[in-house]
Every structure is written in C-alpha cells, then in structure tokens.
Amino acid sequence: MAERSQTAPEAGNNTGNDDIIGGNVSKYMVLPAGYCGQPKKGHLIFDACFESGNLGRVHQVSEFEYDLYIRPDTCNPRFRVWFNFTVENVKESQRVIFNIVNFSKTKSLYRDGMAPMVKSTSRPKWQRLPPKNVYYYRCPDHRKNYVMSFAFCFDQEEDIYQFAYCYPYTYTRFQHYLDSLQKRNMDYFFREQLGQSVQQRQLDLLTITSPENLREGAEQKVIFITGRVHPGETPSSFVCQGIIDFLVSHHPIACILREHLVFKIAPMLNPDGVYLGNYRCSLMGFDLNRHWLDPSPWAHPTLHGVKQLIVKMYNDPKTSLEFYIDIHAHSTMMNGFMYGNIFEDEERFQRQAIFPKLLCQNAEDFSYSSTSFNRDAVKAGTGRRFLGGLLDHTSYCYTLEVSFYSYIIGGTTAAVPYTEEAYMKLGRNVARTFLDYYRLNPLLEKVTIPMPKLRKEKPPPYKHPLLRGPANNHPNGKGDKKSSVNHKDPSNPF
C-alpha cells in the first residue's frame, strides 16, 4: 500500500471526519494533486447518486490508490456498512486499490473470504471479486480501524463499473416484481397497500391463499412474514421473493399450502431506507426493529401499520396467527439459521424447535446448530421478541437470518458463496417446510395440478392512487379461533 501523507483524511468512528459526509458523491472526478490540465481517461469518476447508492467521499492516496468513505445512514452516524457506487472514465488495463476505510463494524465476513460484488455495462450480471484480491485488516493510518481493501483492473474503457457490498435489491425492482405478479391476475394472490412510509413510499401487503379461505366466517391459519426492516440486508428480499414465487406457483405443494393456510407477507418494511441506500435505519435514523413496543404512526408508520394488523388478527377469534417470521441477513455468520424465544413452559420451548429442525432437513444451507433461542434485553424491541410475548402458546415467532456471504454444507469445510438464486432457493425451502410441519404430505398423492383460475371480474381500483394495477381487498373471518396443528467463472470475472 502507498504511504499516506500527514494531511490525508482519517476514517471516522462516531465522531470526527464522518460528520462532514452529508450525502453521496455525484459524478465526482478525482484529479491528481496539482493537476491543472484537461481531464483525461484514467481520471476516475465516482457516483452514488442513484437508488440504493452509497459512497460519501473519495480521497486519492496515490496514482493507483483511493480511500473510500461510506456515507452513514441518514440521521444516524453509527451505521456505516452498505456501499454501492459506480466508477467510469477508466483506462484500459488501469489497476487500482480501493480502501473502504470507515466501516462501523469490526467483525466481518471479509475475514472469512467474502468479497465485494462487481458488474459492468458489458457484463451486467453481479459477480464476486476473487477473494485473493481482498484484504481486511486493522490500519494504523485510520485510527487502527478495520479497513477492507481490494485490488481491481479495469479492462473496458467504455464500461461503467459498479461495486456493492452485496447483491442490491432496490425498491423499484420490488415494485416491478409485484406489478408483474399482479398482472397475472391469479385468484389466490392479493396485493394491498397497508400504509405509506415517511417519504410516501408504499407499504405492500400480500395475501396468498385459496379464495375459499377468505370468505366471510372462514377460519384462518395465518403465517405472517416480513422482510427488509434493515434496508442494507438485501438477501432478505431474495429469500422473501423465493417464498412468494413458490407459493404462487402451480407446484402441488404450493397448491396444498394455499388450500390450508393463509400467507400474509410484508416484504419491505423500510422502503425509505432501501431507496436511500441506508444499512440499518429509516429516513429519520431509527432502527425500526427496536421500536415494536410502541411504534409511532408518524416516525415509524410502516411498523405501526403492520403491528396494528397483527394485533387485529390476534384479537379475531376466527384467526389463528400461528407463525411470525422476520427475514434478515447476517454480517458475521455463515449459512441460514434462526433466532427464537425462550419460554418458561418447557413443552412450548420444545415445540418451537420443530420448525427449524424440519427446515434443516429440507435446506442444505440451513444450520440448526447455529440456531439459538434467547431473550437478551437488547433485543426487547424486535418483532420476534415483542410478538413472542404478545401472542399465545399456539404462535411461534422467529428471526430467519441468512449470511451475506456463504454457507457450508454438512460434512464439508468449504464455503459455498450465496448467489441470488441460492437465496431464493432458501425461500422456496422455507415455504415447503410448512407442508412437513402441518403433516400435509399424504395430501400430495391426491393432488392434480389445476389450471390457473382467473378472476371473473376486474376488481375495482384500489383507493390509494400510488398502487399501480388492480388490487383486491378481502374480508376478515369472524368466529371461533382455530387451534394449532452462463457467465464467466466468478473466480476470474474480469
């Protein structure tokens, strides 16, 4: 690494230099010190002023080396993990070293072989950089903070290159995905707007079940799933999409699940944070997963809306809210795993272990040995902890975590990096596991794959103007509560 001058900026902690990072760089061209001529190829242009972008500052250390500063979450300087930026105006065969110098976490999967993601104009599929080009270490030039450095060689002068912490999954991508599902006009898929964020982005709620389960007076067994309360945890969205894709498919297991269960899914609880490129917080700097006890309708409107709905379902004697699963991504552990609650009732505690044990049998990347049950005080405001205390003994609340990096298959020691498809496969396996949990397997032999049914009438437009495409409302049941029963080798991407 090049030696830094005494005047080079230092990476921050919660005080100091990070305070002056007020936004993302916008088409920022880095010129050599003292250079006065016309800009030319090789004078890199950095940009993060796009959806889910994050890069706060750039400092050129030498001709080949650059210190890059993550922009902290909006209104909260404590969180600096997610980055997502582009580089252009490169020179063919130009070699660089990029140093991410102000991470707010010390522990990281970069210690275990994780590498940043990269794509370019001519190669639009995300790939991981070779781990041999990535270094994670304490840096004496940056207050002994941990720094992640990676070496890269640009090979196409006309390309725009994009680098990210993990596979991005934007709010716009999510809306397009839901629009495409809605256009299929499936009679067992319902989309409604449960509320809006502070910046007026919509909070979507999906209901996936057979229409017979939604008739007036019908008893319902509800599985409630949420995701993306922490906006930088993008694997959550891929897992959630895997769940949704499976449940709306014509797979015989999906047909049985829709006949017997009602799936309520709020896939993106923090749309503002996702759009802004935050790692953990909302627009106003709140970690929403610490505010379940008393969410504010103006400061935490999406959380407030979801909590109101869950409490309403809980108080409905015809509705049995059987599962709550909140999907996250983990920055220091491998595999998928779960967190559950601790109960004084030993039998209830043992029953809570059944679902993760079954999931472990269905998903090679899910680790039951990493699954844990706790009641740490610091987790008191999370959805899992709050709802675990609110709901009765027939309900089970989990946090489903999946690694930002990789999984290790049982009996081996080799880490298998996650892909977008592997994350979605985990979601499909989560959905399939409900068949085992409810012992519905014998019904598989009787299932014939039905032709998809279309709604006979075009439903009325939803009252919220931001909702694109048709949407349906449906009644909630009333009555007695039911009891529980092609690309290049990613190791050499460029």
The residue written with tokens 């057979």 in the block is 210
Q: Is 401 a catalytic residue?
A: yes
Tell me the C-alpha to C-alpha distance, in Å, between residue 417 and each of 3, 65, 393, 453, 488: 34, 28, 38, 39, 15
Listed residue (426, 453, 176, 203) closest to 309, CA to CA: 203
> CA neighbours within 13 Å on the CB side: how many for 214?
17
Query: What distance, in Å, lies between the first and last C-alpha atoms of the chain?
Result: 22
Q: CB–CB of 295/307 below 8 Å?
A: yes
The one catalytic residue in 10, 219, 364, 401 is 401
Please choose, from the candidates 48, 93, 41, 92, the residue with its C-alpha nearest in 3D space to the C-alpha of residue 70: 48
How far is Cα 291 from Cα 35, in angstroms, rounded to an integer?
Answer: 51
Q: Are 166 and 235 in contact (CB under 8 A)?
A: yes
- CA-nearest of 126, 455, 420 to 245 is 420
- Residue 68 to residue 8: CA distance in whole angstroms: 12
Please identify which residue in the block is written with the tokens 């889910």.
52
Q: What angle do CA 300, 305, 306 make, to 5 degrees?
A: 105
Write out the two tokens for 386. Answer: 């709050």
3-state secondary structure of 243: helix
Name the residue among 101, 107, 105 with its Cα closest to residue 148. Answer: 101
Contact 192, 462 (CB under 8 A): yes
Q: Where are the beta strands (DSSP E) in 209-258?
A: 220-227
Asked if 200 contacts 271 with a C-beta cutoff of 8 angstroms, the reply is no
The residues that bridge with 339 in the sheet, in sequence order, are: 372, 399
| Residues labelled as active-site residues | 401
